[in-house]
């Protein structure tokens, strides 16, 4: 199989609502989330920069390879638009002039270590979501290995439903009940949740997305799926966390089960309860392990 850096024409119009990441419980100190993110097993989660701008998150999976989501590497120009919802004016952005990021502008940072990108592969079905599934995943080859960082172990099994999970990434953060206090503070945030549902379009016969909702500590009207009882460090992620990792502990070993791809904003729910009741989506790693492993083998054999 021949692999090349992929550049696609995109014909659909995408509309983005402002949606931040690292949103935490209002009744829990943020320090607990920062402490969780700083644990050794999550040192494999890094930050993506385009030139000098932070643009997303990523996960080291071997000495020379990193996973992220595809949409982080599709650049677009945007024009502002406004929506009126029940008397509230909401700013949205219509994206146009889409193109794949020039890898010479990319830099990844893991625990203060900076590394350049040698190759970037966006999953070939990513922009054919109407017929082949969303496949919002990308593999990067880095120029040199990183020191003192243990790569994430990939999950190969399809038993993710109801797993207790930890999501890790970079992005805006703040208390769920105060959207006005949410901002981009360049912090690495980790939070807990549960895989409440598996869905999305099919790829190789498997659904491609893991879903979690953000449950309120006392209100049950925020529950969208699964149990209404929140985890001690319940959170929701999207935006700057895109490309970050979703982990679970299985047989005393942490493994990567998802890559953050985003989530939708229910505007009516946002007005009523802030970020409680919103949902987040993660690309299901187990579905794409064959693609990842084949690319790694092909790249390694080519370099010999």
179-213 pLDDT, tens digit each: 888 877 889 999 999 999 999 989 999 999 999 99
DSSP run (H or E) holding 88:
strand 88-100
| Residue bearing the bigger pLDDT, 121 or 303 | 121
pLDDT digits (tens, 9 = 90+) for 164-177: 999 999 977 899 99
Average pLDDT (214-224) is 94
Kindly give, in sequence order, each residue whose CB lies less than 8 Å from that of residue 146, ignoring residues fewer than 6 positions away.
60, 63, 110, 113, 115
Quote the DSSP letter at residue 41. G
Q: Quick one: tokens of 5?
A: 């850096």
More confident residue, 187 or 77: 187
Looking at residue 12, its pLDDT comes to 31
Return all residues near 272 (Cβ < 8 A) that are at least 6 apart.
none
Q: Is the pLDDT of residue 14 over 70?
A: no
pLDDT at 129 over 70: no
How far is it, in rounded angstroms, from Cα 91 to Cα 222?
24
- The pTM for the full model equals 0.87
CATH code of the domain made up of 14-303: 2.40.10.120
Q: Does the pLDDT of residue 304 top 70, yes or no?
A: no
249-259 tens-digit pLDDT: 999 999 999 99
Question: Would you place residue 291 in the very low, low, confident or very high pLDDT band (cuts 50, 70, 90)?
Answer: very high
Task: Indicate whether 56 pLDDT > 50.
Answer: yes
pLDDT given at position 210:
97
Nearest by Cα to 277 from 233, 217, 232, 200: 217
φ/ψ bin of 165: left (φ > 0), alpha (ψ from -120 to 50), beta (otherwise): beta
| pLDDT mean over 134-149 | 95
Integer-rounded Cα radius of gyration of the chain: 18
Is the pLDDT at 9 greater than 90, yes or no? no
Instruction: Return the residue matching tokens 């609502």.
Output: 17
The pLDDT-based confidence of 238 (bands split at 50, 70, 90) is low
Q: What integer best gives the mean pLDDT of the chain?
A: 87
Task: Give the pLDDT confidence of 94-107 residue by residue, as tens digits.
Answer: 777 778 899 999 99
Torsion of CA 181, 51, 289, 262, to 10 degrees: 20
Percent over 70 (pLDDT), the chain: 90
Give yes or no for a contact between 89 and 82, defined as CB atoms under 8 angstroms apart.
Answer: yes
Give the integer Cα–Cα distance in Å for 6 and 221: 44
Sorted by sequence, the CB contacts under 8 Å of residue 5 that are 6+ apart come out as 100, 103, 119, 120, 121
Q: Does the pLDDT value for residue 16 go beyond 50?
A: no
Q: What is the pLDDT of residue 234?
A: 98
Count of Cβ atoms closer than 10 Å to residue 18 Cβ: 13
Could you tell me the maximum CA-CA distance found in the chain, to the nearest angstrom? 63
Spatial distance between the Cα atoms of 282 and 243, rounded to a whole number of angstroms: 9
């Amino acid at each position: 199989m021949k692999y090349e850096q992929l550049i696609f024409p995109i014909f659909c119009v995408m509309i983005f609502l402002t949606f931040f990441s690292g949103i935490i419980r209002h009744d829990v100190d943020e320090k607990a989330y920062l402490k969780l993110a700083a644990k050794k097993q999550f040192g494999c989660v890094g930050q993506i920069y385009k030139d000098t701008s932070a643009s997303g998150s990523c996960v080291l999976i071997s000495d020379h390879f990193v996973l992220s989501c595809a949409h982080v590497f599709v650049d677009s120009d945007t024009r502002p638009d406004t929506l009126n919802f029940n008397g509230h004016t909401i700013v949205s952005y219509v994206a146009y002039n889409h193109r794949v990021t020039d890898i010479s502008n990319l830099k990844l940072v893991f625990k203060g270590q900076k590394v350049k990108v040698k190759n970037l592969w966006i999953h070939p079905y990513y922009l054919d979501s109407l017929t082949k599934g969303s496949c919002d995943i990308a593999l990067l080859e880095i120029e040199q290995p990183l020191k003192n960082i243990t790569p994430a172990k990939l999950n190969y099994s399809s038993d993710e439903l109801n797993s207790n999970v930890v999501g890790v990434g970079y992005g805006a953060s703040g208390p769920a009940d105060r959207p006005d206090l949410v901002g981009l503070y360049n912090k690495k945030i980790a939070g807990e949740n549960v895989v409440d549902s598996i869905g999305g379009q099919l790829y190789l016969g498997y659904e491609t997305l893991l879903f979690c909702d953000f449950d309120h500590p006392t209100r049950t009207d925020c529950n969208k799926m699964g149990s209404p009882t929140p985890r001690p460090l319940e959170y929701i992620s999207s935006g700057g966390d895109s490309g970050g990792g979703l982990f679970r502990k299985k047989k005393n070993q942490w493994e990567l089960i998802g890559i953050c791809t985003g989530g939708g904003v229910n505007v009516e729910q946002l007005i009523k309860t802030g970020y409680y009741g919103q949902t987040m989506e993660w690309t299901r790693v187990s579905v794409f392990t064959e693609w990842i492993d084949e690319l790694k083998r092909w790249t390694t054999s080519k370099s010999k």
